[in-house]
Amino acid sequence: MSLPLFDDSGESSLWTFEKVACRGGFHAVAGIDEAGRGPLAGPVVAAAVILPQGAELPGIDDSKKLSAPKREHLFGLISGCALAVGVGVADHACIDRINILQATLRAMAEAVGQLAVPPDYLLIDGISTIPLNLPQKTIKKGDSASISIASASIVAKVTRDRIMMEYDQRFPGYGFAEHKGYGCASHLAAIAELGPCPIHRKTFRGVKEHVAP
């Protein structure tokens, strides 16, 4: 079914997909997104968020478009008003073992399973469905089109950033607090100088070249 991109008033709305699902008879719509598919180190983190209809979250957007302080602020608002929030984590070892896509889907399924309110419909950022027996819709750039997915993107990003800040204390010298594990020049230089640390993804280019046989 082709979904409208506008709400009943004709105005563009981040609530469009949630409203369509509710008109279809669904009552607990969960938005799902992840953070950390691209980095060379650390986990991929997924979040699932069920919002009450009409929840006001001024300034919400795709987490990548927001500053860190803004994300932290919205994280608090989302946590305070959501009907349920679930988080799933697939660590570096899981990513190396089953690949990043499958690890991401596993983290998403775990996030759904952590919801205190069982969802009856899933809105998922991207193009891959989750291996769960639930009605679901994938949405390209869903974190800019759905308030539930945008909320999940913020929860996932803030949660993962906090994990990487902790890893920075455990594994100094790589700059995890600054780049959160992404493959910037300073991170690549640190890997070349120090070698990979225990949380590096050893199957990723930029790391695997430095893994001892």
Residue 67 has pLDDT above 60, yes or no: yes
Residue 9 has pLDDT above 80, yes or no: no
pLDDT tens for 121-179 read: 999 999 999 999 999 999 999 999 999 999 999 999 999 999 999 999 999 999 999 99
Whether 51 is in a domain gets the answer yes
pLDDT of residue 213: 80
SS3 191: helix
50 DSSP β-pair partners: 30, 84
Whether 191 is in a domain gets the answer no
Whether 28 is in a domain gets the answer yes
* Domain of residue 101, CATH code: 3.30.420.10
Assigned token pair, 120: 């009856």
pLDDT tens for 186-204 read: 999 999 999 999 999 999 9
Whether 127 is in a domain gets the answer yes
- Across 97-116, b (16+ Cβ under 10 Å) vs e yields eeebeebbbbbbbbbbeebe
Whether 202 is in a domain gets the answer no
Whether 107 is in a domain gets the answer yes
Whether 173 is in a domain gets the answer no
Range of the domain at 108: 16-165
pTM of the model: 0.93
Q: Are 26 and 134 in contact (CB under 8 A)?
A: no
- How far from each other are the two terminal CA atoms of the chain, in whole angstroms? 51
Counts of helices then strands in the chain (DSSP H, E): 7, 5
- Across 6-33, b (16+ Cβ under 10 Å) vs e yields eeeeeeebbbbbbbbbeeeebebbbbbb
Q: How many domains does the chain have?
A: 1
- Across 126-151, b (16+ Cβ under 10 Å) vs e yields beeebeeeeebbebeebbbbbbbbbb
**Among residues of the chain, what percentage have pLDDT more than 70?**
94
β strands within 38-96, DSSP E: 44-50, 84-90
Give the pLDDT band (50/70/90) at residue 56.
confident
In sequence order, which residues have a C-beta less than 8 Å from that of residue 150 and are 6 or more positions away?
14, 31, 33, 60, 61, 62, 63, 143, 144
Across 91-119, average pLDDT: 98
Residue 11 has pLDDT above 50, yes or no: no
Give the pLDDT band (50/70/90) at residue 4.
very low
Whether 2 is in a domain gets the answer no
